[in-house]
Amino acid sequence: MAGISGRHFLTLQDYTAEEITAILDLAAALKLKQQQKIPHQLLAGKTLGMIFEKPSTRTRVSFEVGMWQLGGYALFLSSQELQIGRGEPIKDTAAVLSRYVDGIMIRTFAHSNVEELARYATVPVINGLTDLYHPCQALADLLTIKEKKGMLQGLKVAYLGDGNNVAHSLMLGCSKLGLHITVAAPQGFWPREEVRSKTEQNALLSGGSLTVTSDPLAAVKGADVLYTDVWASMGQEQEKAERKKIFAPYQLNREKLSLAEPEAIVMHCLPAYRGEEISADVLEGIQSVVLDQAENRMHAQKALLAMLMG
């Protein structure tokens, strides 16, 4: 697969609108092939090393099964099993793994770890999640929105809750492709200024826009897409009780859904906590697309793997 072959995938900011669109188009094509049981072993004989410093359900299964469907092999590597967990420099791990595998996916805490891994690896490095970004999730989100709405440009997306890694990548992805995104969060939990600045620059080129507000009702008014995430991410468990109080007005529920467009879709990257960031009736309601969204992690990542490692 020409175009982005051999590149790292650390953040959507590193990719053009055309490149992101190409990934989404291939993802849709590979999803159709999988549904029709048409073999598509684009990575036959290729191996992906998967480093997990944070546990995961969707990330591990979607990458592992995706690689198998592409004809390749995915190797699970927990930080406890690697010398990196015992103090081996990241650059040494990157150099050695590059001699064994054709690509590396890492799910970790500090974004600087992924950047250092990419600096010293000679094979593509994929960010499976850091505290700053979750770009593979954003690819799945955009694929899902395009499937459900038939388009991306000009749609209004409302994100409610913590201005976290999911929000950051969603902001970058939406602004690259011309969507209007509003992030509603309590002050003190807004997205990082550096990401807001990049998002605004992207929007100037694409015709999209970014709004950051503390008013959740204003954010959801007329929205085509309503999105939320957990209020306390991994590593923030001690803050959970305090965050529940602070974020309570931002729960995605029937009241907020009623203010959106009648055909609005509801999204959540999962895992979800019913009665906290989202009410059970909305999560499981007819406008919810969370299971399609979760499935699309695999299809989006398959396209990404095929284009980077093919």
pLDDT tens digits, residue range 159-198? 999 999 999 999 999 999 999 999 999 999 999 999 999 9
Q: 137-293: which CATH topology?
A: Rossmann fold (3.40.50)
Q: Is the dihedral of CA 248, 296, 13, 226 positive or negative?
A: negative
140-156 per-position pLDDT tens digit: 999 999 999 999 999 99
Q: What is the residue type of 190?
A: W
Q: Give mean pLDDT, residues 207-220.
A: 98
Under 8 Å between Cβ of 145 and 20: no
Q: Give mean pLDDT, residues 57-63.
A: 97
pLDDT for 83: 65
Q: Which are the contacts of 135, defined by CB distance < 8 A and separation ≥ 6?
A: 9, 10, 11, 12, 127, 169, 172, 173
Under 8 Å between Cβ of 164 and 280: no
Boundaries of every domain in the chain: 12-134+297-309, 137-293
Catalytic residues: 107, 134, 137, 229, 269, 297
Q: Give mean pLDDT, residues 13-38.
A: 98
Q: Outline where DSSP puts E strands in the chain.
A: 47-52, 73-78, 103-107, 125-129, 156-160, 180-184, 209-213, 225-228, 265-268
DSSP labels for 218-271? HHHTT-SEEEE--SS-TT-GGGHHHHHHHHGGG-B-HHHHHHS-TT-EEEE-S-
What span, in angstroms and rounded, lies between the C-alpha atoms of 96 and 283? 44
pLDDT for 2: 56
DSSP labels for 151-186? --TT-EEEEES---HHHHHHHHHHHHTT-EEEEE--
Q: Give mean pLDDT, residues 29-34.
A: 98
Instruction: Decide if 12-134+297-309 and 137-293 have a common fold.
Output: yes
Q: Which are the contacts of 93, defined by CB distance < 8 A and separation ≥ 6?
A: 82, 83, 84, 117
C-alpha count within 13 angstroms, C-beta hemisphere, residue 221: 7
101-115 per-position pLDDT tens digit: 999 999 999 999 999
pLDDT for 24: 98
Q: Is the peptide bond before 271 cis (omega within 30 degrees of 0)?
A: yes
Residues paired with residue 103 on neighbouring β-strands, in sequence order: 48
What tokens appear for 9 in the block? 């995938």
What tokens appear for 300 in the block? 């989006």
* Domain covering 12-134+297-309 in this structure, CATH number: 3.40.50.1370
Q: pLDDT confidence of 240, banded at 50, 70, 90?
A: confident
Q: pLDDT confidence of 238, banded at 50, 70, 90?
A: confident
241-290 per-position pLDDT tens digit: 899 999 999 999 999 999 999 999 999 999 999 999 999 999 999 999 99
The phi, psi pair for 91, rounded to 5°, reads -65, -30
pLDDT for 85: 59
Q: Give mean pLDDT, residues 122-128.
A: 98
234's torsion region: left (phi>0), alpha (psi -120 to 50) or beta? beta
Global pTM value: 0.96
